Copies of this chain bind each other. A is one copy, B any other.
Amino acid sequence: MDANDVRGHLDGLLLAVLESGPLHGYGIIEALQRRSGGALQLPTGTVYPALRRLERARWIEGTWSVVDGRKRRTYSLSPAGRKELARRRSEWVRFTGVIGTVLGGGA
C-alpha cells in the first residue's frame, strides 16, 4: 500500500493512536507502523506537521519534557479530540460503504 493513500485519513489515524494514551511524535510513528503490521511507515515530514495542525485545532495537547537528555513533545487526546475521533470513525464507515459498494467485486 502506498503511504500516500492515507490522504484524508491521517488525522483520524493519529487521533486513534493517541486514544490508547499520551505519546510523542516519534513514538506515534512507531505505533502506526506496529499497529498496521508494517504497512504504515509515515515519514517525519508528514507526521510532525500534522501533529502541530491537530494541536492548533485543539484536538490534542502537547507538552515538552526531557527524557534521557532528549527533548520530547508528548501529545494527549483532548475531549474535543475524542469527539473528532468518533466523527472520523463514522465518516470512515460511510466512506468505505460508498466506495466499497460502487467498487463492487464482492465488496
A residues with CB within 8 A of B = 1-2, 4-9, 12-13, 16-17, 19, 32, 35-37, 39-40, 85-86, 88-89, 91-96, 98-107
Contact with A92, one of B85, B89, B100 (Cβ below 8 angstroms): B100
By a CB distance below 8 angstroms, the chain B residues around A95 are 1, 5
Rounded to whole angstroms, the CA-CA distance of A50 and B86 in the bound complex is 33
Copies, count: 2
Rounded to whole angstroms, the CA-CA distance of A98 and B3 in the bound complex is 11
Residue of B nearest to A33 (CB): B102
Are A102's CB and B1's CB within 8 A? no
Q: Smallest Cβ distance from A45 to chain B, in angstroms? A: 19
